[in-house]
Amino acid sequence: MSLSLLSLTVLSFFVSLSLSIQIPVDASLAGKCSTPDPSDNFTRPAYDGVWFEIAKYQTKGGGFFEKDCVCTYINVTESGDGKYLVDNVCRDKTPDGEETTAVGELFNENPPGAFEERFCPVCPAVSYTIVLIDAQGKNFSVEYDCGISFNTVQYCVHILSRTPTMDEGTFNWILSEVNKMGLNQFNLPLQYTKQEGCW
């Protein structure tokens, strides 16, 4: 999918989502988003740059952008006009698949590390919080985003690494911390992101 087509698809999806009524609601997803504290280690310089997705917990709505994605990574940058941006990049189905990208803007930072995110001016914003990051962002981070759509909670917990792999000890510690925070509130299965053969 081309960038322009993806942008149009994203825009159409959220406009439709905002304007539609009487959509069936999955009662099992009712509730409210978690409100975790951001990591004390968070700074913008620490979070800036490229992060490879290792694994995730993700609802179907939360995974709208990542359907059939492999080789997923984000690139966090600050633009010349002060906007804080997250470029979400992946390939379709295989490492040779077409590259797709969606750029989200982070805003309303309060406290540091806790933002709102939106993908277009008319798109509804979701919470976006860096719940874990090591000192200076050298190795790993965990990002939690969540929004409410028609009384259903849609969330993602992204486990990120500076490299396409992560050592088992760090990975298991992260899973334990995410569990303590209760971020996977619907006990969704862990989804591993294919990075083999991508780089």
pLDDT band at 6 (very low <50, low <70, confident <90, very high): very low
% of the chain at pLDDT higher than 90? 75
Q: Using CA atoms, how far apart are residues 90 and 143, in angstroms rounded to an integer?
A: 17
Lowest mean pLDDT among 26-35, 56-65, 146-155, 179-188: 26-35
Q: Which of 116, 132, 136 is nearest to 124 (CA)?
A: 116
Residue 28 in this model has a pLDDT that exceeds 80: no
Residue 10 in this model has a pLDDT that exceeds 80: no
Instruction: Determine the average pLDDT of the residues in 90-112.
Output: 96
| Alpha-carbon distances, residue 25 vs 12, 152, 163 (angstroms) | 20, 7, 39
Q: Using CA atoms, how far apart are residues 132 and 143, in angstroms rounded to an integer?
A: 7
* Tokens linked to 157: 């917990």
Using alpha carbons only, how large is the chain's radius of gyration in Å? 16
Instruction: Determine the average pLDDT of the residues in 56-75.
Output: 88
Question: Which carries the bigger pLDDT value, residue 174 or residue 124?
Answer: 174
pTM: 0.85
What pLDDT sits at residue 130?
A: 98
Residue 119 in this model has a pLDDT that exceeds 60: yes
β partners of residue 141? 133, 160
Instruction: Determine the average pLDDT of the residues in 6-28.
Output: 39
